[in-house]
Structure 1
Amino acid sequence: MSTVREKSIKERTFHVTTTIKGCIKCKEGHTLSRCSEFIKMQPLERGFYVKNNNVCFNCLTPGHSAMECRVVQSCRVCNRRHHSLLHLPRRVTTSEHKEPNQPSVSTESNVEEVKVNTMIASHHISEHRVALLATALVIVKSEEGHATVLKALVDKGSQACFISEKAAQILKLRRYPTNKIVTGMESMKVAVKQQVHIQVNSRWESDFSLPVRAYIMSKPLTTHIPETKITRINKWSHLSGLNLADPDYSTSGTIDLLLGVKEYATMLQEGLIKGPPGTPCAQNTSLGWIIFGEISMKSDINENTSIVMHQQIETDSEQDINMQDFLKRIWKINTISSRTLSKEEQQCEEIYEKTHKRDKTGRYIVKLPFKNEVHKSIEGDAKTIAMNRLLQLERRFNKDPHLKKNTQTL
């Protein structure tokens, strides 16, 4: 009988909350690593500028040092702990310009052009704009029939669904064991051990029912969405009269359910309404009209927070690529501690060193360690006792042929 081997999958979640302040050099809406004025400078001048302005040598972001930087990526030329734009060619004399306590910069033998690929978020938020993410109020039912209304984030950039621990307890969901790894930005990993099966129903379409497999997260799925209460929604005339999936989309609330791209494609319907610049869009779905987009609003806050959600599922081939990283993490955790070997362990080491060899096929052969001392029975000579019991059993069989026949049958 043939069997089908299921491919094991590993969940990866990327959830990042970033603070965008703009370029500290030209005050434009980009990072320092993408600043044309900064790129035109010589590497040595960039290093002095970064040091004098208290900017991280690794990620070119102010507010922390390279020792405290949590960004995994380093120099693409020498893989040392500094940004690629700060990489210096080898044997460049810097003693005349070097300042005390300046972080060391790696070098190479030849001067070469460095191509820097900077990873940025999928959207940028200026000082007076807020990103509005699509949310919906849905009716969630368990396998036992328990139901409640949850606020869900509709994220078409996710390949999996997640539910909060709080919601799982409210619904008294039946939990199924699983073994997944949720990986976030900066290589933070969280093990997911449980999954649930739920049914998502619409508040507007009674015949719409969506079965969902969700993973339970012990920590909050996101921050409150939106970050602050949105005003002036009564001036968005293009949204009037719509059956909104989340009537309270302008009020900050907790997200207890995250629906991925598969669920988004299932609930999607025809109908997209775009408003004037600075107003959100509306997309028709089976859950109602979801509201999303970048909106303009008055705010005295100098910094704005953006939330980027993305999740991907790795196949077996992708897991093989990450096996090197997995082994490195194991080596870092399982440090070898020196200890004194016992007498028996020392004997085993000696037997291995004296007897191990390798045959023509490449297999290793080693003599098994045995204890030399004779183990005696607590009742005396074990061989004599065994022989007496055997003779006693033969005499019993001679007296009772029926017992002998039954024993032989067994």
Structure 2
Amino acid sequence: MTIESSITLKQLLDTTTDCLHELSNLGVQVDAWDIIVIYLIGSKLDVETRKQWELQVSQSCDELPSFKTFRDFLEKRFRALEFLEPQSSKSSSSTKALHVVSKISCPLCSEEHLLCRCKRKHHTLLHKKFDPNTEADSSAPVTSANKEPPQNESKAEPHISTHFAKNVRSQVLLATAVVKARSRNGYSQVLRALLDQGSQASFITESAVQLLKLKKMAVKTTISGLGGGHSDLTSKYMVQVNIQSLIDPNFNFQIKAYVLSRVTSILPERKFTLVDWPELHSVELADPNFNKPSKIDILLGSEAYTKILKEGLIKDPRGKTMAQDTYLGWIVSGEVEDEWQSHHKLTISMHAKVETDQILKRFWELEAEPTNSESSILSPEEQACEDYFAATTRRDENGRYIVKLPFRSKMDK
């Protein structure tokens, strides 16, 4: 990092946290790596951030800082930068700008208007589509400089963006669980699963397949989602995965999962804390770190979802978040709130449909013989072969077909 950037700083922290989390799942003891990790990440920070970190460490006690302290510092740092970046962009927009006064002339009638406003006959593809509801006259010369337009006169195209004046914003939490998956050599690996009742199939990442050393079965599958249209997302392989609950070791099941390079983005989008919900602390959660961003290794679809459900449902006092009992533990989902600003919103709709019928149909259509053979045009040699085959082919008393081969010398005669 050469300059202060909230996005780059957040990506650096998320990548480091994910790597440490994956190493912990593999059984590597990373608790004693704090000083090494702090040194490596600190060497990648910009000058101002490193300065603020050194000031904070010098004010603390003589003990060596932990990675948790370093992570909390980075979180506060990029949150502060996110708050300041919109203000800096707003102040930079007040720079001087010189507008050139130009006279617009129609190339067809030489009058002072655009070609799209010309009433004479012309090819409409020569310009963009004219919107009659637009009242702004683009032919009027612009003579203002270093002036900000009044709020009631500024008109711009609507852009999809989220800028919040409040300190509290919400995000939708999807249900996740930590499960054991049996590898090909008999060992078990811990994976983080996303539970999706709206998916007709289950999916697994390529990295998880390589970790478990599972045997791939070749398939050709198209995956579609919202809108019902065909998608460019395809899966070439399928694997069988044995899933075991961490809460109840006696509960296990097998699923068929399609292999994708990536199932979804890191979930949840941001770290948050649930308050005023004491019932949640008395149950055994399927994902103890459900409130911390981490990657998804496997998606369990509707078929697996129905196998793990149990009776039991509790809601928070606000009625926006719920916890549901399953054989994998209690899963948490719903709307949650956090207390920091964000300027980008990611909407995830985990709805997937596997379409194999269309692919098979296309395959057989390509391999099938032409149905309208009568209208096909044959060369004289091809027509002679067809006639020779129809005249000489017969079936003997044993049911075998006797076919004579056509030769060019016979056809020439």
TM-score by length of 1: 0.48
Q: Which structure has more helix as a fraction of its residues?
A: 2
Q: Which structure has more strand as a fraction of its residues?
A: 1
TM-score by length of 2: 0.48
